[in-house]
Amino acid sequence: MLLKTFGWSFAVTALGLVAAVLYGGWTAFGIVAILSVLEISLSFDNAVVNAGILKKMNAFWQKIFLTIGVLIAVFGMRLVFPVVIVAVTASMGPIEAVDLALTDKDRYEQLVTDAHPSIAAFGGMFLLMIFLDFIFEERDIKWLGWLERPLAKLGKIDMLSVCVALIVLLITSMTFATHAHLHAGPADKAETVLLSGIAGLITYMIVGGLSGYFEDKLEEEEEREHEAEEEAERTGKPRSAVVLAGKAAFFMFLYLEVLDASFSFDGVIGAFAITNDIVLMALGLGIGAMYVRSLTVYLVRQGTLDDYVYLEHGAHYAIGALAGILLVTIQYEISELITGSIGVILIGWSFWSSVRRNRALAEAEGKAETSDKTEVSSGV
């Protein structure tokens, strides 16, 4: 079962790590490994969401999502998107960006370094919005209750996350941006960071809007299907289950692809906090994306990993940490080891907290059952 589900992921991992060693030695090996773990940790909650929706789809649409969808997610977002970001920020064509990265690494490194404040501002704002929308939302399950309870109360204020993000962007442009490594004056540097940050905010709102649109469409189709089932039961007439299931599955597929794209943004953008090398980035994110797909299949077939309820919290705190790191790197250089370790530590901490929670619940249920048996045997 494990080999059948994760076989392709294991194969891609082996090939990717070997390619990394051949490309840049053991340093490249370590960076690719860190990027793979980062991508898996940041996209774990995406796999859980995917699995919950895929369970409602028939085998045909599941296969479509896990074949066509993986091409879009792995080769589109994880491999092409980093090249597009570099090409846009460095004002060159995608083919030229790839050629430059492979043939003239020194010039490429300089161009990416000059473009880094734009990338960091754009990515930092996008990731910050994901984090803020998460911590300002009221949730039944809380990991760090002392922090999440008051923030959830503050989250009732309309547009609070946008206001906080814009304040952070303004402060960043007035501090870090004035010393950023750009071939321009302080005013131009601040303007570059401001424009890039606003672009990141707008991108997040567009992606979120599309996700919300398809989610609403999905709910409408499911509601129509439910009403058709009730009508068929009342009248005794057969209904076209295939047509209704097909419509619902189609909107599920569109919704999942938009959702995948949004989660791909945080992995790709977070990767820029670790390395500017698009080859290592493509290898690491590609490996990670394959495991996310395998996790989705595993969750559909087993439905067990969603018991670790704090993992979603850990992933979002890691996103928040990456957002802060990206904004700081506009001025200061931070080691890739530190950046990668923070995400791994937060994910590991949330996983261990989930395990402890499950043990405590199991012990409580065991004590309750023992107490009930004692009461029955004593005739109480």
**pLDDT of 183 strictly over 60:** no
**pLDDT of 37 strictly over 50:** yes
Task: Tell me the mean pLDDT in the region 317-330.
Answer: 84
Show the tokens assigned to 217. Answer: 């469409």
Least confident range of 158-172, 220-234, 248-262: 248-262
Residue 206 has what pLDDT? 83
Task: Tell me the mean pLDDT in the region 121-147.
Answer: 87
As a whole number of angstroms, the distance between CA 31 and CA 243 comes to 48
Residue 313 has what pLDDT? 85
Least confident range of 59-68, 71-80, 142-151: 71-80
**pLDDT of 244 strictly over 60:** no
Show the tokens assigned to 143. Answer: 């990991």
Position with higher pLDDT, 350 vs 182: 350
As a whole number of angstroms, the distance between CA 109 and CA 288 comes to 24
Residue 246 has what pLDDT? 57
Position with higher pLDDT, 258 vs 282: 282
**pLDDT of 188 strictly over 70:** no
Highest mean pLDDT among 68-72, 136-140, 362-366: 136-140
Residue 167 has what pLDDT? 94
Position with higher pLDDT, 244 vs 356: 356
As a whole number of angstroms, the distance between CA 53 and CA 253 comes to 9
3-class SS string, the chain:
CHHHHHHHHHHHHHHHHHHHHHHHHHHHHHHHHHHHHHHHHHCHHHHHHHHHHHCCCCHHHHHHHHHHHHHHHHHHHHHHHHHHHHHHHCCCCHHHHHHHHHHCHHHHHHHHHHHHHHHHHHHHHHHHHHHHHHHCCCCCCCCCHHHHHHHHHHCCCCCHHHHHHHHHHHHHHHCHHHHCCCCCCHHHHHHHHHHHHHHHHHHHHHHHHHHHHHHHHHHHHHHHHHHHHHHHHHHCCCCCHHHHHHHHHHHHHHHHHHHHHHHHHHHHHHHCCCCCCHHHHHHHHHHHHHHHHHHHHHHHHHCCHHHCCCHHHHHHHHHHHHHHHHHHCCCCCCCHHHHHHHHHHHHHHHHHHHHHHHHHHHHHHHHHHHHHHHHHHCCC
Give the model's confidence band at 261: pLDDT under 50 very low, under 70 low, under 90 confident, else very high: low
**Average pLDDT along the chain:** 76
Integer CA distances (angstroms), 230 to 86, 113, 225, 249, 264, in order: 53, 61, 9, 20, 39
Residue 114 has what pLDDT? 75
Give the model's confidence band at 4: pLDDT under 50 very low, under 70 low, under 90 confident, else very high: confident
Position with higher pLDDT, 90 vs 195: 195
The share of the chain scoring above pLDDT 70, in percent, equals 70
**pLDDT of 251 strictly over 50:** yes
216-234 pLDDT per residue, tens: 776 777 677 777 777 777 7
Residue 242 has what pLDDT? 41
Task: Tell me the mean pLDDT in the region 365-376.
Answer: 66
Tell me phi and psi for residue 247, to 5 degrees: -65, -45
CB atoms under 10 Å from CB of 300, counted, come to 19
Give the model's confidence band at 53: pLDDT under 50 very low, under 70 low, under 90 confident, else very high: low
**pLDDT of 198 strictly over 90:** yes
Residue 243 has what pLDDT? 42
Highest mean pLDDT among 35-39, 73-77, 134-138: 134-138
CB atoms under 10 Å from CB of 371, counted, come to 10
The share of the chain scoring above pLDDT 90, in percent, equals 7
Integer CA distances (angstroms), 332 to 60, 76, 113, 178, 305, in order: 50, 31, 12, 12, 38
